[in-house]
Structure 1
């Protein structure tokens, strides 16, 4: 499945004032990197992949439509799948973008 171009455009707009943002095709989707670290991506499976603080994972997955990323059969703290319907409105999208951006921004530049 190809990633959602409209959602990618919305992410691009949400990150338009953020310095050091680059885009890269990854994981069958389109990732947005801040300072060289992935912050958020439009998933080829629908919705978003969002980087988060590992310690906040449990709290964040308590929300409807949010779950831990599963890679190679293993749940990953610090990475979330957020369904498309959760980010239907711009305020919700910006909230999830900010979560990923802030974590990526806190990492050493690559």
Structure 2
């Protein structure tokens, strides 16, 4: 299964004026990077992977259709999997993308 191109385009539309954001195919999905750091990724299994401050991410785990993102059976600190039901409206999607951008921009740029 490939990633949802419609969701990817919606994210591109949100980020059209952002100079420090690029996209790159990774892990079967499409990652959006800020200064070299992954921010959000359109997952090949549906939904969105979102990178946040670890404490913020922990606090959002009580929300519907939000769960820890796991790789090889291990939850990655600060990463969430957001289900499609939480991305239906442009406002919902914008909220997740902006949360992640706000955090990732605090990280030092990768060279």
User: What does residue range 65-80 of structure 1 map to in structure 2 within 5 Å?
Assistant: 65-80=65-80
User: What does residue range 51-66 of structure 1 map to in structure 2 within 5 Å?
Assistant: 51-66=51-66
Segment drifting more, 32-41 vs 15-24 = 15-24
Match of 1:42 in 2: 42
How many residues align? The count is: 110
* Structure 2 length-normalised TM: 0.95
| TM-superposition CA deviations, 1:28-48 (whole Å, max 9, x none) | 100000111111010001000
Residue 22 of structure 2 aligns to a residue in which SS?
Answer: strand
Runs of 4+ aligned structure 1 residues displaced above 3 Å come to none
The answer for unaligned runs of 5 or more in structure 2 is none
Asked whether the 8 Å contact 2:65–2:86 carries over to 1, the reply is yes
The answer for unaligned runs of 5 or more in structure 1 is none
Asked whether the 8 Å contact 2:58–2:78 carries over to 1, the reply is no
Residue 11 of structure 1 aligns to a residue in which SS?
Answer: helix
* Structure 1 length-normalised TM: 0.96
Match of 2:103 in 1: 103
